[in-house]
Amino acid sequence: MKSHDLVHPFGPIFNEKSEILILGTFPSVMSRENSFFYGHPQNRFWRVISGILKADEPHSIEGKKSLLLENGIALWDVIHSCTIEGSSDSSIKGVVANDLSMIFNNCRIKRIYANGKTAQRLYNRYILPRTGREIIALPSTSPANAAYSVERLIQLWSCILK
């Protein structure tokens, strides 16, 4: 598969009520095509978030934004631009990190969570030195993380509400 130099195609989701920030790595091919986060139908992110919030799973972009914002959750990715093969996080090279200051300057973020170990590792390498703010890794909701069922992910991700 050929690698491509790409820039993140859409902005973060947040508002003044956001207290929790969830960071992924970089949008998948399907997310880039859909111009929104976790667009692959097999990614369990929206099922997990709905499960921990005890809400119906939204299917529209507006519904997904509302679910996050009504519950004080901000969402973005660690990477602004990189070279990547398809959707493979393991192929990521040439990382330029996103500047999270627009979120930190406009919200009262209390905790930051990584959707997977790769997001945590990249955050710690590229962003932590600038912010000094720790990130907590949660198991990835990616379909590639087949070791975790949706039920187990919901159980582990429920810590974000505490």
Task: Set out the domains of the chain in order of their start, with CATH numbers.
Answer: 3-7+15-161 (3.40.470.10)
pLDDT at residue number 162: 81
Q: Which pTM value belongs to this model? A: 0.95
Residue 135 φ then ψ, to 5° = -125, 145
Beta bridge partners of 6: 82
Evaluate whether 98 touches 112 at the Cβ level (below 8 Å). Answer: no
Evaluate whether 13 touches 104 at the Cβ level (below 8 Å). Answer: no
**Closest C-alpha among 114, 77, 74 to residue 96:** 77
Looking at residue 145, its amino acid is: N
Query: Per-residue pLDDT for 25 more than 80?
Result: yes
- Rounded to an integer, the average pLDDT of 15-33 is 95
